[in-house]
Structure 1
Amino acid sequence: MKKAFIILTTVLFATVAQGQTLTQQDLMGTWLVSNVENTNSNPKMASAMADAVINLYADNSFEIKEKQQSGANYTYKTTTHKNATWSYNPSTQTISTTRSKMELKITQTGGKTYFTDTDSGLKFEVTKPI
């Protein structure tokens, strides 16, 4: 009976761990930053990333667009370097970018997805609108 419990527990943990692993295909697309946590670690970057858009394209190009307020309307300004690319390491669940040398740790908690900038410590709650 004890062995059956140990086997059942091991299978349960393996299933939960596997369910949280994202693939590169899962990450491709447009991500909207809906919330920024740990804002005190880098207030300027936290302000810039509020309501930003992170695009991870299928050709591995990468861009961040910051929301710009201009009166009643708003626009987005691309802030990443030209020809920036991204790569994904599924074993560490991290996205690495060229040019800006940004590394984002991907986590999922309570049905929400987070990108944490490993350099600044800023944690971005992100959603895929489509």
Structure 2
Amino acid sequence: MKNLIVLFAFVLFAATAQSQSLTQKDVTGTWLVVNVENSNSNPKMAAAMGNAVINLYADNSFEVKERQGNGPAYTYNTTTNKNATWSFNQSSQTISTTRSKMTLQISKSGDKTFFTDKDSGLKFEVMKPI
């Protein structure tokens, strides 16, 4: 009976861990930054990333578009370097980019998804708009 309980607990833990892990296919796409946490750690970057769009394309190209505050509601300016690329490490749940040298740790809490920039400490709540 004790072995059965241990086995059940292991299966439950493994299923929970697996359900929170994302694949490269899950990560690929357009992500809208809906909230920036820990904005005091880097106020300038936090302000720039508010309502930004992060595009992780299937061909592994990468771009960040910042929403322009002085223009129409949907005017964006691309701020990443040309030919920037990204890669995904499924075991560590991290996105690494070239050119901008960002490393984003992906985490989930309930139905929310977060990208945390390892360098600045900023935590971006993101969602796929479609």
| Shorter-chain TM-score above 0.5 | yes
1:95 aligns with: 95
Residues 49-82 of structure 1: CA deviation (Å, up to 9, x unaligned): 0000000000000000000022554410000000
- Between the aligned partners of 1:91 and 1:120, the Cα distance in structure 2 is 22
1:45 aligns with: 45
User: Number of matched residues?
Assistant: 130
Letter matched to residue 55 of structure 2: N
- Between the aligned partners of 1:87 and 1:72, the Cα distance in structure 2 is 33
Please list every run of 5 or more consecutive structure 1 residues that lacks an aligned counterpart in the other structure. none
Q: Is the aligned partner of 1:61 residue 2:69?
A: no
Tell me, what secondary structure is at the counterpart of 1:69? coil
- Normalized against structure 2, the TM-score is what? 0.97
- Between the aligned partners of 2:100 and 2:94, the Cα distance in structure 1 is 15
2:117 aligns with: 117
- Normalized against structure 1, the TM-score is what? 0.97
Identity, % of aligned positions = 69
Letter matched to residue 20 of structure 2: Q
Runs of 4+ in structure 1 displaced over 2 angstroms?
A: 70-74
